Amino acid sequence: MAVLEIRDLHVSVETDQGTKPILRGVDLTINKGETHAIMGPNGSGKSTLAYTIAGHPKYTVDSGSITLDGQDVLAMSVDERARAGLFLAMQYPVEIPGVTVTNFLRTAKTAIDGEAPPIRHWIKDVKSSMKNLRMDSTFAERNVNEGFSGGEKKRHEILQLELLKPTFAVLDETDSGLDVDALKIVSEGVNRAKENTNLGVLLITHYTRILRYIRPDFVHVFVNGRIAEQGGPELADRLENEGYDRFLTDEATV
């Protein structure tokens, strides 16, 4: 049983004003097949957690650990983490001019699997995944994220999730900027990946809306760089009614 464990994680970032601590002791255990929602107000450190798991060089881990089945994730390079089975669906995927989606997907799949996918099989997989995500077939010949709308970028992220078949996926505000139809399509993709590969999901979101479509097993409320409260799906419902004010007030009185 694969497990992603985060222990007492402290992370800081360099800013013009000096070193700024963002994560202040995060503990989290995600088993394969589980879906954990991380919710919290802006600036609470949700995205920092996502990028730290993926290994973005901007963030410095001051202490704590991240392990995947006991292996030290923090010792791995960005690409090694991806090959070990971690995936980050990004909030703002960058454009890569001159690299087509087709070429990019094949290169990534080859890197993850350690060998080129059998060509006929692969083309079929790509086509059917794109169809499921209601992506036009001309999409494959466009350059990665170049001129994509917000919704297209997110669908493209989920397309990769379905094709690369990671063990754990971190979805960083995948719901932001999506209308209801696009949100449903993207959520269906995540649910398919959960069903097909027993994916473990860390779903980072500001809003409860996506949780109507992707049912979380656990909900963690993130405030000021650590988990302030956790519970089951009912916690999300409470947040929907009450918002984050309760936590922010707590924080102010501390």
CB of 125 to another protein, least distance (A): 16
Question: How many CB atoms within 10 Å of residue 127?
Answer: 13
> Is 194 in a helix, a strand, or coil?
helix
- Does 82 participate in binding another protein (rule CB under 8 A)? yes
CB 49 within 8 A of CB 58: no
Q: Which stretch binds another protein (CB under 8 A): 53-61, 119-127, 128-136, 203-211?
A: 53-61
Residue 89: Cβ-neighbour burial (10 angstroms; 0-12, 13-18, 19+): buried
Binding of residue 99 to another protein (CB under 8 A): yes
Distance CA 44, CA 22 (A): 8
The answer to whether the CB of 193 falls within 8 A of the CB of 170 is no
In degrees rounded to 5, what are phi and psi of residue 29?
Answer: -125, 125
Answer for which of 7, 56, 142, 206 binds another protein (CB under 8 A) is: 56
Q: Which position among 20, 72, 75, 78 is part of the footprint of another protein (CB under 8 A)? A: 78
Decide if residue 211 touches another protein (CB under 8 A). Answer: no
- Give yes or no for residue 74 binding another protein (CB under 8 A): no
Q: Tell me the residue ranges of DSSP E strands in the chain.
A: 3-15, 18-31, 35-39, 59-68, 71-72, 86-89, 96-100, 143-144, 168-172, 200-205, 218-223, 226-231
Q: Is 223 in the site for another protein (CB under 8 A)?
A: no
- What burial letters (b/e) apply to 50-64, b meaning 16+ CB within 10 Å? bbbbbbeeebeeeeb
Identify which of residues 156 and 226 has a Cβ nearer to another protein in the complex: 156
Selected from 108, 132, 151, 217, the binder of another protein by CB under 8 A is: 108
Distance of CA 143 to the CA centre of its chain: 22
Specify the residue, 152 or 219, whose C-beta has the smaller distance to another protein.
152
61 lies in the site for another protein, by CB under 8 A: no
Total residues binding another protein (CB under 8 A)? 28
User: Binding residue for another protein (CB under 8 A) from 6, 28, 40, 55?
Assistant: 55
User: Is 35 a residue that touches another protein (CB under 8 A)?
Assistant: no
Taking the complex as a whole, the smallest distance from the CB of residue 173 to another protein amounts, in Å, to 16
Token look-up 């669906």 returns: 89
To another protein, the closest distance from the beta carbon of 178 in angstroms equals: 20
The answer to whether residue 76 forms part of the interface with another protein (CB under 8 A) is no
CA distance 243 to 232: 16
**Which of 38, 88, 190, 210 lies at the binding interface for another protein (CB under 8 A)?**
88
Q: Is 128 exposed, middle or buried (0-12, 13-18, 19+ CB in 10 A)?
A: exposed
Which residue ranges make up the site for another protein (CB under 8 A)? 54-57, 77-79, 81-83, 87-88, 90, 93-94, 96-99, 103-104, 107-108, 111-112, 143, 160, 164
